[in-house]
Structure 1
Amino acid sequence: MIDDLEFNGEELTRAERFDAWMDMARASIMPAKLTSDAPLDCDSLFDGAMLGPVMLLSASAPPLKAVRTPRLITADDPEMYELAMPYQGQGILEQAGRTAVYGPGSLMVASTSLPFESHGRLVDGRLAFTKFYLPRKMVPIPPDKVERLLATPLSTSEGMGALFAKILRNMVTDAASLGDSDRARLGTVVTDMFTAFVAHHLEEDSKLPPESQSRTLFLRVKDFIRHNLHDPELSADTVAAAHHISSRYLYRLFQENGLTVRSWIRTQRLEECARALGDPVQLATPINELALRWGFSHPAAFSRAFREAYGVSPRDYRMRQVARAVA
């Protein structure tokens, strides 16, 4: 396992890049036979971090062919699930008697405990991806059931898949700036979402542990709220109804996380308004119109709430932000 790693092929000579990239890949991923047809002068960027027990790897690199044999599994098996999310290019995975081609807009699950062969494919000369490695023991779904989804492209275009992909992308961006405790928390989020995502595809959502269901539901609720901030009628009742739960349960869900539904909705709306007020492109848009766009239907109430949160009126805040932008 790794703590943090970083590799930038631009810092090396052409003759050094390929060997350095291969050494990095071998050192950071489970044992596999690695080969590549990439040119020696290929550009490579490689980052990794530990999110508690979850490993995060992100790379823009030449395509590798990885073969994991029964012998290599016997020699060293970390007993993990690999979750791959490509941004550019394609991946090809052969495992559990299936072969799948996947690209942007999908996730792929593999297991380190079963033989596999995988390789990347350049599209428009690029291959970029993120992979997460989760300990199998942290996923409360029997391995034989998870294996039904191996080498099967899972869509991230809508619903839970879209939310999961969004969370994963944010983690790639945020991980480097976080401390150990926050990274460990993100590892729990990845594990919960992976578990819920797999259970959803297996149609076994109701069999998940209550704490995992609760944490996943909280993420889904917050995402729903963010996507509906523009609606003046957004409230605890409408949020609860959209998720087929009682308002009382929704209140408890937020209380368990040290929040209230009403204040969290208001905070999210105010943050969006503040971003809009500080955007030079929206300088000509009336303040009341911006407020209405984010769910504040009463100008006076918006002005009071904004001043309470930011210490100045929306107009003064906008003037200060614009002054900073042109300074």
Structure 2
Amino acid sequence: MLTETVFRSEDVPAADRFECWRDLLRQLHAPLDLDSEHRSDFRAEQRVLELGEVSVWPTRFQPVRFLRTPKLIRQSDPEGVHLSLPLDGVLRATRGDRETAYGPDSLCLVDTSRPLDLRAGDSFSPRPHIGVGLEVPKALLPLTWDRIDRLTACRLSAREGFGGLLAQLLHQRLEHARRDLADPAQHATPIHAIAARWGFPRAADFTRAFRAAYGSPPRDYRHASSWGDTAGRSRP
């Protein structure tokens, strides 16, 4: 099931807007230090769409600087990856002594386990930065931590957009779950536990996605696999 949360700065008193938005980002992403030249009357709008353990958030906000320091990482690290797609405006990420700029043709990958200095928009202009963010736990990605480190230093192409990435992630999670369901050593493991292991906390969502991908619900697939009759049940 898709759940949605919406934040609009105009719903909050001007003096509280920046702090409220900062608290929201800390919950969504990881502990951050934020600052803005516009904090006295900050304007922002953010929708959060939760898809199991993955969340997508279209956002619009006045220029901000985000800092993820070693101290903040030691305090709390959700071990996640954040992908940002700028739609209007530029992100400038500083990692060590290297700065990389990301525009609407590129994706910026952020690892919550690594320090970061990220600037969104022109701090001296009130023009809002518009973009889309995607939060994914590292455990759901078919990437080693070394590979993630290398990708954070690159400007990734936005040609396929988030739709292709989400579809790929969903397929990989379902494949892991399918293999566990067919594994005789895990026959006693409840289906809901296998689903939750691979990022499907809601049983109904898992059943719907699994049936769409493989042509039968998880319970039937597990039963058929115990009799060696899963051939032809999966879909390309």
Deviation of 1:99 (Å): 1.6
Asked if 1:137 corresponds to 2:115, the answer is no
Matched, 1:40 2:40: yes
> Which residue does 1:154 correspond to in 2?
156
**Any conservation in 1 of the 2:83–2:108 contact (CA below 8 Å)?**
yes
For the aligned residue pairs, the C-alpha RMSD in angstroms reads 3.1
- Asked if structure 2 preserves the Cα contact closer than 8 Å seen for 1:26 and 1:34, the reply is no
Cα gap change, 1:91/1:27 in structure 2, threshold over 3 Å: closer, same or farther?
same
- The structure, 1 or 2, with the larger RCO (C-alpha pairs under 8 Å, 6+ apart) is 2
Alpha-carbon contact 2:38-2:126 (below 8 Å) kept: no
Flag the structure with larger Rg: 1
Distance 1:96 1:52, change over 3 A: farther
Aligned runs of 1:33-72 on 2, under 5 Å? 33-72=33-72
| Conserved 8 A contact 1:36-1:63 | yes
The match for 1:299 is: none
Map 1:1-327 onto structure 2 (within 5 A).
Answer: 4-95=4-95, 98-122=98-122, 125-156=127-158, 162=159, 164-165=160-161, 167=163, 189=167, 191=169, 256=235
C-alpha contact (below 8 Å) 1:46/1:57 kept by paired residues: yes
Q: Deviations over 1:256-290 (max 9, x none)?
A: 16xxxxxxxxxxxxxxxxxxxxxxxxxxxxxxxxx
C-alpha separation in 2, matches of 1:68 and 1:190: 28
Q: In structure 1, what residue type is equivalent to 2:140? A: M
Indicate conservation of the 8 Å contact 1:96/1:150, yes or no.
no
TM-score, with structure 1 as normaliser: 0.48
Letter of the aligned partner of 2:120 in structure 1?
Answer: G
* Structure 1 Cα separation of the partners of residues 45 and 130 of structure 2: 9
Matching residue's letter, 1:135: P
Q: Is the 8 A contact 1:134 1:191 kept in 2?
A: no
Unaligned runs of 5+ in 1: 157-161, 169-185, 196-208, 213-251, 258-327
Question: Residues 282-306 of structure 1, C-alpha deviation per residue, up to 9 Å, x if partnerless?
Answer: xxxxxxxxxxxxxxxxxxxxxxxxx
Contact 1:31 1:72 in 2 (8 A): yes
Give, in angstroms, the shift of residue 124 of structure 1.
8.2
Looking at structure 2, the residues matched to 34 and 126 of structure 1 have their Cα atoms a distance apart, in angstroms, of: 16
Q: Structure 2: how far apart are the matches of 1:39 and 1:96?
A: 27
Distance across 2 between alignment mates of 1:6 and 1:76: 25
TM-score of the aligned structures, taking structure 2 as reference length: 0.64
User: Does the aligned pair in 2 maintain the 1:96–1:147 contact within 8 Å?
Assistant: no
**Percent same amino acid at aligned positions?**
26
Give me the whole-angstrom Cα distance separating, in 1, the residues matched to 2:26 and 2:14: 20
1:238-264 per-residue CA deviation (whole Å, 9 max, x = no partner) reads: xxxxxxxxxxxxxx99x716xxxxxxx
The structure where strand makes up a greater share of residues is 2
SS at match of 2:67: strand
Give the 3 Å change call, closer, same or farther, for CA 140–26 of structure 1 in structure 2: closer
**Distance apart, 1:39 and its partner CA:** 4.8
Q: Using the TM superposition, give the Cα deviation of residue 64 of structure 1 relative to its aligned residue in structure 2, in angstroms.
A: 2.0
Q: Distance in 2 between matches of 1:121 and 1:61?
A: 9
Aligned to 1:262: none
Change beyond 3 A, Cα 1:92–1:137: same
Amino acid at match of 1:127: H
Residue 150 of structure 1 aligns with an amino acid whose one-letter code is T
Moved over 6 A (4+): none
- 1:101, CA displacement in angstroms? 0.8
